């Protein structure tokens, strides 16, 4: 009887195969969660730096908004 139930579980789409599929889904979601947690931590660190470090704030403004100081020359180089 146990062998028959095991066979049915393996063959049935709602049995063992479904369990394996769901286990893979859980592992995938956990990996994505770890990746997002790392991104969140990096963003928290960047926010803290922008709030406390004037040099970090200046760098961000220059890079993201393209600000330059009076009298500075900016050269944009593009690679082919």
Q: For the chain, what is the domain count?
A: 1
16 domain residue, yes or no: no
8 domain residue, yes or no: no
pLDDT tens figures, 63-78: 889 889 899 988 888 8
* Predicted pLDDT of residue 1: 77
26 domain residue, yes or no: no
> Tokens 């286990």 appear where?
23
Q: Domain limits at 47?
A: 34-64
For the chain, first and last CA: distance in Å?
Answer: 70
44 domain residue, yes or no: yes
Which residue, among 30, 18, 52, has the nearest Cα to 8 in the 3D structure? 18
54 domain residue, yes or no: yes
48 domain residue, yes or no: yes
CA distance linking residue 16 with residue 36, whole number of Å: 30
The answer, as to whether pTM is greater than 0.75, is no
């Amino acid at each position: 009887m146990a062998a028959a139930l095991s066979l049915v579980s393996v063959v049935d789409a709602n049995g063992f195969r479904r369990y394996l599929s769901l286990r893979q889904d859980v592992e995938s979601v956990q990996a994505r969660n770890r990746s997002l947690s790392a991104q969140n931590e990096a963003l928290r660190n960047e926010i803290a730096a922008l709030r406390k470090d004037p040099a970090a704030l200046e760098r961000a403004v220059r890079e993201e908004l393209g600000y330059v100081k009076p009298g500075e020359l900016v050269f944009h180089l593009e690679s082919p």
